Amino acid sequence: MKKYLKLMAVVSAATMLTASLAACGGDTPPAPPAHTHTYSAEWTQGETTHWHGSTCEHVGLKSDEAAHVDSDDNGKCDVCDYGMRVDYGKLIISDILNLEVGKSRAVNPRFTVAQYAGAVSYSFSSDAITIVDNTVTAIKSGATVSVTATTAHHSKTFKVTTIATSTVVDYGTVYAFIGYAPSPIAANFDFAVNPELSIKFTYDKSKIVIDEQNLTVRALQAGSFIVEVEAGEVKGKFTVNAATSSREDYSIRDNNNANYAKNDRLNDWNTKGTAGKSTLFIGDSFFDLRYDFWSNFYSDLAGKDAVNGGISGTVAQEWEGGYYDVYLSKTAPKNLVINLGTNNLGSGENVETAFINLQRMMLFFHSCDNLKDTQIYWFTVAPRGDINKSNEIVALNKKMTKWCAALDWVTCVPVYDLLDIKTHLKSDKLHPLASTYTSIYLPQLAAAGIRY
């Protein structure tokens, strides 16, 4: 009987529950509304990342988490402005002690973290030294100068001490040529171009004449003459090697080239060139249109007033002599672009001889009435893989670059360091590929400031 009563109670409860559910309108209860997390519009910052933190009851959730980024290298995250701790390393510069007046020494800045190496500027309060291009030069003796070196991320203080010079500095030899344009002397010593120094020259004025304002020397007589120099506490000397140039000795070595110059080259100038306006390209095979080297010359220079005048196999002294007489003397270009020097070295000349021949040729050009107003641009000698002349080429380019920099009518156009024998030269390992003229030679000429 008890079991029966319990069963009836369960059935009754189930019936009541069913009725209750039916009264609510369904068999199952409704689902609770969906929850959407909400996040702050402001960034939350951590040591390595940033994110938007949750603002709802679910604490600690993160949205849009990402690593800090400092693309402009200003020490702050580009996204959230978090101050990032960057290890810029240290700038290391050693003290420069006992630097003799008139002499120079490299500052040699070093960075412990190469990634953050940068341009260094120097500040100091003294007229005893100068610092140019990371090189310090002593001007006055007995000084101790505190120098602060700074970059975008570093600061370093070091000291420079100066002492009196103990010797008379020999500044080498300047070559001058009777009847030619004056030769630069500033190329021989660095302090000569320092406006802070008053320079005194002592020499035999009956043999040579020095223009102290323009720092050039003109030869009056042939011979070797000593010039004593005083600039502040600096005492030095240099030798002027004055000579007469025998242009008749510089005849054209190749008859076919001589005819080519008198006929084809001169005809090109007469038909394409305009005095005082055209740019004339002269030199060796790099500019000779008879061969498949710069065959695209006129298309590469389309729209520019340019004339080709290259002659294969030539050296500087031939252009000073025979080629000037039969060809160049009958032109008057606005600009003269020159590629010469490789055949001088290739024919056996040493660096000093090639240096003399190149500068003498240019000094002669500048002394001629038809070329005295012409701006000269000289390409440095290109690397060669056909002969072992790398050291000589580098040395000649260095000498000529410094020499050209001392004159306002000639400009050195650097190409050597940009040229790779395998990438930019033909299979002969000597002549440029056609593409090299447009990718290196012409852009470098433009960078040198030529105006066609």
d(CA 191, CA 48): 53
Q: Are 239 and 225 in contact (CB under 8 A)?
A: yes
Measured in degrees and rounded to the nearest 5, phi and psi for residue 252 equal: -75, 130
State the Cα–Cα distance between residues 40 and 185, nearest whole angstrom: 72
Give the β-pairing of 375-379 and 335-339: parallel
Look-up of token digits 């500087």: 316
- 111: β partners: 91
Residue among 397, 339, 375, 370 nearest 450 (CA) = 375
Asked if 51 and 39 touch (Cβ cutoff 8 Å), the reply is no
Show Cβ contacts of residue 414 under 8 Å, excluding neighbours closer than 6 positions.
380, 397, 401, 444
DSSP state of 264: I
Which residues partner with 245 through β-bridges?
Answer: none
In tens digits, what is the pLDDT along the chain, a chain of 452 residues? 444 434 344 444 444 444 444 444 456 667 777 888 999 999 999 988 999 999 988 888 999 999 998 888 777 899 998 887 778 899 999 999 999 888 899 999 999 999 899 999 999 999 999 999 999 999 889 999 999 999 999 999 999 999 987 777 788 899 999 999 999 997 776 554 455 667 889 999 999 999 988 889 999 999 999 999 887 777 889 999 999 988 878 889 899 999 999 999 999 999 999 999 999 999 999 999 998 899 999 999 999 999 999 999 999 999 999 999 999 999 999 999 999 999 999 999 999 999 999 999 999 999 999 999 999 999 999 999 999 999 999 999 999 999 999 999 999 999 999 999 999 999 999 999 999 999 999 999 999 999 99
